[in-house]
Homo-oligomer: A and B are copies of this chain.
Amino acid sequence: MPLTAERFAPYGDVIAPTIAAAQAMNDGRFERFADLARVDFDAANNGHVALSIARSRNPTTFPYRFDLVERHPQGSQAFVPLGAFAFVVVVAPPGESVARQDLRAFVTNGNQGINYHRGTWHLPLIAMAERQAFLVIDRAPADGNCEERVFEQPVVLDAP
């Protein structure tokens, strides 16, 4: 379904300009949509916030079959598209376990990024075209910050 801030609230934040958040900055030469998402991270063991880029090699084809979800127990993770393109987000609420009936699929409107809250279950990034780049804002180092669950039967995701 279409991604909105309200629908995504149990899982994370939507990063997009909204009229409500607009403020003037730099003498009115810019609009600022401030504090759209907060980066949450565990600072222990040299934990810090890193900026990275992820770029798709191969587009995902639909129907897409997957059996693996992941979560990051040590911090939030944001993906912001570096261009105007839509992508698909599949999530389930934070918690020790995850069931396939808890999964929800959202499609962005082409101008939205997302920030998974710490512990939100999600599919690895899904891109719908080649060489689409995302800025990634998450905790580094990555060691120990990814848990995975594998479903016995694959989940089938239809084209959005």
Contact = CB atoms under 8 A, between A and B. Distances in A.
A78 to B, nearest CB: 6
Interface string A11-32: 0010111000000011111111
Contacts of A16: 53
Interface residues of A, number: 50
Interface in A124-150: 124-125, 127, 133, 135-137, 140, 142
22 contacts: A15-B53, A17-B133, A25-B124, A26-B125, A27-B124, A29-B56, A29-B57, A29-B58, A29-B127, A30-B55, A32-B52, A32-B53, A34-B52, A35-B51, A37-B51, A38-B48, A39-B48, A43-B43, A49-B49, A80-B80, A82-B83, A113-B135
